[in-house]
Structure 1
């Protein structure tokens, strides 16, 4: 098997290699590990318990032991959990089980055990666990002044119903460390996201007597709003708000009409502003010219959340209202204003029109704050300062000792072993855990480069790239922008008139060069080609005898993927942003998204309604610029690849309407 070629040096580097009889037993253990993973996914506790003794001493035994205990954790005793934590101390699996056990202790309200165990929890990234810890602090009377705000931040970020943050919110509300409005806002966010159980839970915390009427407001908002509902009292007003939120998600215009003609006068200023902000956001998501008119009904921007304000900025960008762009960014939270997206557009707003010297100086300071080579807005800021993208100088070569330390790291070795064995999800989680110790004062930047080098050496390109990207002061461009299969990619791209840098930029975003990558919707391979798209493209380019199984062949995948990308690029008049959007979301959507005013392509890209596609387009273009700089050795411009985006010229040939 191919993975055995990878594992031989891997195990040797970790001092795991041994005699041939042991290796044969290990191979049998590999099969058992795969069987145990399947048993864990099926919840087969008895099979896991039966198989566990057969993998004693296997390099991935920590995973086997974790699966076995995790499957029966709700019946486990504390001494069994503690024995596991002691035996596998320092591993990812130890902290993963600690995370799971803390959640269970929180659900049981076993605050004493939770408090004893929580200080040893290293990952610290589970919002629900953090909420339990804050609730305990509140119960003990030791909560910090900002504990309520931290609970809200975690609670608002959770998209599914939880116990930890809901419980903590109830504690903070009772202690008056958060306000009833904070809880109602959680209900609004849940209703907007169609998380109705979560909305009901929030209302149960703040106004349990309102639950009887909540169902109709959420399930039949039109009936509720056009019936005999009145808006007397805070609870009834908030039910009206929730019903209007639900209506706005399916028909923003109808919600606007009812808010304007009937309900607005019965609601508070904050409630009206929130609703107009949501309606404006929904209109902006559909690229409607009515969006700014809806936002214009907002009397105070600080009543809106950052997501609403982001869409207000985007609508203002489409309309060329630069002063409104700047004011809306100023109304965002301090954290949001630090995002390079809004730093860049704030700077642009300062220099639009007749800018004063003071505004130009302020804009320059903002550009200097984010200018760089790796990200979309970082590159644009760099160009605003008169520079172009060039590869960063290579860091000092890794020493033999640095490389040896990475090869000897048990967590990295287990992760690579798991990935090679086919346990990619498990391997990626363990790799990330091991390298994330950098954030806790563990791995230095040089150690991260050594870990990335190990992943590159094993051709685990996604871990190579993602690990190298975590360094800030030392940048290794070869790690961040690798070029596997260079001869095939470059030859194929140039042969059909594509920029090889564009192809590499897209592959890096699509699959991180993982040949067996699979998406949730069925796309496969380096260029993440869908089966139906592959069949259509094969017919289009005359690739005879093609079968869907060939998508997983590297060269065929590149042939099909580049051909489709070229067809999409031609279909969109050579626009790289539009073609990238078509590759990600299908061609029909960007054909609609391009209608409207002629826009700077950066403004158009920022207004793409799908979060995934918006992020995708920006990353593909930023990747392309970096690859072009590497391939050509010349400074590169992002702006030159963006251009303008607007409606199709009616004089041009009709688009290829059967392009899938």
Structure 2
């Protein structure tokens, strides 16, 4: 009852603040309960159990009491009684923290191999987003119902980058029951070694060949030394160790790995081992933008021996060299799940068109693929629209939200707790509760209309990241006002106009950088709306004449926009107006972007898909997609993503001099 009373008070405050046009809650403590919560946040990070227990009484009756109680119980979960845990789950039933603690408890039960309790608790687990918990559940399903869980177990195990107990245990269980074999185990070791993760590689080898698993660390440390050994008539397991060594060597020197494979090891490996190893060498060469990457992939005789990651890099290498037949064969070999990704749907369609000749059926297949993804939702969806001869325009707004729909969102306890947490500075905790409350697999999960109403609530409170992320999840309805908001429009448009910078490009970048969180700060120290690094801010301030700039001003909205746009303009000019190259430089640094442009002249979409860093690759595509949609909003005219992309190739040094001073 006390929680309901407190929530009613919060809802009243929310309404009052909405009338005044203020953000939901200022980012500072409003009362002693808030102060206690903020102190508990610090104590939780320090694992200070005594301090957490001492502070908890001060948080009783607070709207965020479920969070406080979770913080107090979680560090001592391993010693808490089952009755205390179940009492917590009952007291805070329906909240994010009920299910968060249940997740933690299930992980603990799995590590203890307490399958009876795990089996009893698991059906009430609603988030279903923890892969290790799911792996433990697969163990119980295999034991209790003799279910065939092999394919799901392998998929989960292969996708984990660390040596987590749950998925390793289910692999051991299935191996002992002869449901997975040595090829499956060695494939996991290869994936882990390719990802520079020796621990999960060793864990996989431990299952199949425990006497050889110590070799994994030696191979990871010095693969060349291992490969220099004169091993002949080697066993299957030792051949697989050689594959691991070649994979590890390829990360630093794909050409040397290729030479060793070609002249010494290929004859000793199986066809599957050769195909995988050549593909990894091709992938590493492609990530270094070597022109011979596609020639390494050409040694793969059977694409079905590869996983989706290797096939993706085969596509990228082939695109870079204009080899459309290889693009087509690689995309067709991908799993059904991968082929649903708009990235590979688009390139498969392009490859079908490029190789169709007079084959009308193949052309029709390409058109069908393009139609299946064409929309304004993202980069490849927009490109598909243009391939079909359409422009990017602002979609019709959904039917306006009704008062009851808005009221339902305003009365949602999880959303209000989330807003309160964000308002007092507990943004990460608030984001998690918000996401949980809007997620479809939780009780009362939201449909499109409910998501629009929740996004509207966040927009009204100026919690722009929750507004955007929530609206982005609608399946049918698309509300551009929510998905592409324009806070500080006067400031951004005015500043962009002063320096002759497209305001749509500025907004496209801010949306990706900070989601319009004014005090955003990255793990590397970038700050504010445009996520400017301190040294870059100082350098840019001098360049644009902000002589009185001090570091503490970087989160001031006017100053941040001035410095961020000033730097972006300098970067764009240095890259001859290429939005794709400038976006890559803004994210990864100008020197990397300069190196990445060397090579053949490419469609910018092909160039962007070949950016070696996944974060930057996604960033460039999202910034350019955002920009195109913002341009449609700002101009109310049809737009083209392709025209913004253009082509990317080496700098014409005779015409444009490199700005070596650019940080």
Please give the range of the TM-score, normalised by the shorter of the 2 chains: over 0.9
CA displacement 1:617-649 (0-9 Å, x = unmatched): 110011011111111111111111011111111
| Comparing 647-656 and 66-75, the one that deviates more | 647-656
Q: Alignment partner for residue 86 of structure 1, among 87, 90, 102?
A: 90
Matched, 1:644 2:647: yes
Structure 2 residue aligned with 1:21: none
CA displacement 1:119-166 (0-9 Å, x = unmatched): 0000001100000011111122x1433x11101111111111210000
CA displacement 1:496-522 (0-9 Å, x = unmatched): 001111100000000000001111111
| TM-score in terms of structure 2 length | 0.95
Q: Distance in 2 between matches of 1:648 and 1:332?
A: 35
User: Aligned-pair distance for 1:457?
Assistant: 0.6
Q: Alignment partner for residue 81 of structure 2, among 66, 73, 77?
A: 77
CA displacement 1:238-296 (0-9 Å, x = unmatched): 11111111111111111111111111111111111111000000001111011011111
Matched, 1:109 2:98: no
Q: Unpaired runs of 5+ in structure 1?
A: 1-6, 18-23
Q: Alignment partner for residue 50 of structure 2, among 37, 46, 50?
A: 46
Matched-pair contact (CA < 8 Å) for 2:32–2:58: no
Structure 1 residue aligned with 2:290: 288
Q: Matches of residues 36-185 of structure 1 in structure 2 within 5 Å? A: 36-140=40-144, 142-145=145-148, 147-185=149-187
Q: Distance in 1 between matches of 2:233 and 2:80?
A: 51
Matched, 1:422 2:401: no
User: Aligned-pair distance for 1:217?
Assistant: 2.7
CA RMSD after TM alignment:
1.8
Secondary structure of the 1:209 match is: coil
- Change in Cα spacing, 1:125 to 1:548, as seen in structure 2 (3 Å) is same
Q: How many matched pairs? A: 646
Matched, 1:449 2:452: yes
Q: Distance in 2 between matches of 1:55 and 1:284?
A: 54
Structure 1 residue aligned with 2:38: 34
Q: Distance in 2 between matches of 1:98 and 1:405?
A: 27
- Change in Cα spacing, 1:215 to 1:594, as seen in structure 2 (3 Å) is closer
Q: Distance in 2 between matches of 1:152 and 1:41?
A: 34
Q: Distance in 2 between matches of 1:183 and 1:651?
A: 55
Matched-pair contact (CA < 8 Å) for 2:127–2:442: no
Q: Alignment partner for residue 408 of structure 1, among 403, 407, 411?
A: 411
Matched-pair contact (CA < 8 Å) for 1:248–1:278: yes
Q: Unpaired runs of 5+ in structure 2?
A: 1-6, 18-27
Q: Distance in 2 between matches of 1:376 and 1:583?
A: 19
CA displacement 1:182-208 (0-9 Å, x = unmatched): 111111111122211111111111111
Matched, 1:374 2:350: no
User: Aligned-pair distance for 1:335?
Assistant: 0.9
Q: Distance in 1 between matches of 2:410 and 2:645?
A: 42
| TM-score in terms of structure 1 length | 0.95
Q: Distance in 1 between matches of 2:29 and 2:538?
A: 44
Matched-pair contact (CA < 8 Å) for 1:10–1:407: no
Matched-pair contact (CA < 8 Å) for 1:438–1:444: no
| Comparing 238-247 and 505-514, the one that deviates more | 238-247
Structure 2 residue aligned with 1:3: none
| Comparing 24-33 and 243-252, the one that deviates more | 24-33
Q: Alignment partner for residue 558 of structure 1, among 557, 561, 572?
A: 561
